[in-house]
Homo-oligomer: A and B are copies of this chain.
Amino acid sequence: MTALAEREAQTPLALICGGGSLPLAVADSVAARGRKVLLFPLRGAADPRDYATRPHHWLYLGQYGKFARIARAAGCRELVLIGSLVRPSLTQIRPDIHVLLALPGILRAFRGGDDHLLSSIGKLVEQRGFTLRGAHEVAPDILAPVGALTRAQPGASEREDIALGFDYLRAAGRFDIGQAVVVSGRHVLAVEAVEGTDQMLARVAELRRNGRLRAPAGSGVLVKAPKPGQDRRFDLPTIGPQTVAAAVDAGLAGIAVVSGATVIAEPERLVQQADQAGIFVIGVPAAGE
């Protein structure tokens, strides 16, 4: 760590929070390391009930000036953007003058994939003197480790499905589409794009129910990976208890993610749920690592 990075790591951390429980898990992990955290939940994305008992400052997307004023006054130098962010409609954005200046770039980003949107927000923040960090840098214990988290382990057949899944995701990555795929018996059953992982799993459940998939329940693997070249500071693949529930409903044998590059939300509950259903959840090192 450089001297600058060390000094920055001693300042309070600003956390801009989208939806879901992940921002709070990151906040708790950072606080447990003895670092102060400032929470900035985003209107329309974060759930007010989650923040009722914690000090916080609501932001509309685009309120860069309000954010910068509060964060600077508290001595923050580093910032993490985390949580789900459904692509906002224009009415949900309250641009201040800083954002208006960058608006042409942001609107261009909206027409590209999600990566462009997020990286343009990231650039905007860095241009104004804050350092953008990834949740995995400030709270490494939220990432999937190498190996099975569960009692169940993939068998030889599932290991082949996992390898094929990662192979596909590498090939498709340059198209800036989804990060997940369902593979069963060396056959790609479903590919995620805009609909998201949970909806893709619901589709597999439906294909099984209507008899289009004849493989018995307890076969097939959800394989999830970061896109190649993706900036991991603001967009890591995430699995949580709801992913396990959807995988069980889809009749899968398990879930494979990239170790060190996938966030596990609510790990205790996730593992308990997976063990109860008898499915595996495994972290696999990225190819070449």
Contacts and interface: CB of A to CB of B under 8 A. Distances in A.
A171 B164 contact: no
Contact of A214 (B89, B178, B191): B89
A111 B164 CA distance: 14
Nearest to A177: B188
A86 B213 CA distance: 10
A207 to B, nearest CB: 6
Given A190-B195, A194-B190, A194-B207, A175 B164 contact: yes
Interface in A92-126: 111-113
A55 B89 CA distance: 59
B175 A188 contact: yes
A9 to B, nearest CB: 36
A188 B164 contact: no
A85 interface: no
Contacts of A192: 191
A188 B195 contact: no
Contact of A187 (B111, B185, B189, B214): B111
A87 B186 contact: no
Q: Interface centre among A89, A111, A194, A199, by most B CB within 10 Å? A: A194
Contacts of A199: 203
A284 to B, nearest CB: 18
Given A171-B175, A172-B191, A194-B212, 19 more contacts: A86-B212, A87-B214, A111-B185, A111-B186, A112-B187, A113-B188, A168-B172, A168-B175, A176-B187, A177-B188, A177-B191, A189-B193, A190-B194, A190-B195, A191-B191, A191-B193, A194-B213, A195-B207, A199-B203
| Copies per complex of this chain | 2
Q: Lowest 4 CB-CB distances: which A-B pairs, in order?
A: A191-B191, A177-B188, A111-B185, A189-B194
Interface in A157-195: 164, 167-168, 171-172, 174-178, 185-195
A214 B90 CA distance: 10
Interface string A209-237: 00111100000000000000000000000
Nearest to A113: B187
A224 to B, nearest CB: 15
A214 B86 CA distance: 11
Nearest to A172: B172
Contact of A193 (B87, B111, B171, B188): B188
A103 B192 CA distance: 34
A152 to B, nearest CB: 22
Q: Interface centre among A112, A172, A178, A193, by most B CB within 10 Å? A: A193
Contact of A195 (B87, B176, B203, B214): B203
A176 B188 contact: yes
11 contacts: A113-B187, A167-B175, A171-B172, A171-B174, A172-B172, A172-B191, A177-B191, A178-B191, A189-B194, A190-B194, A194-B207
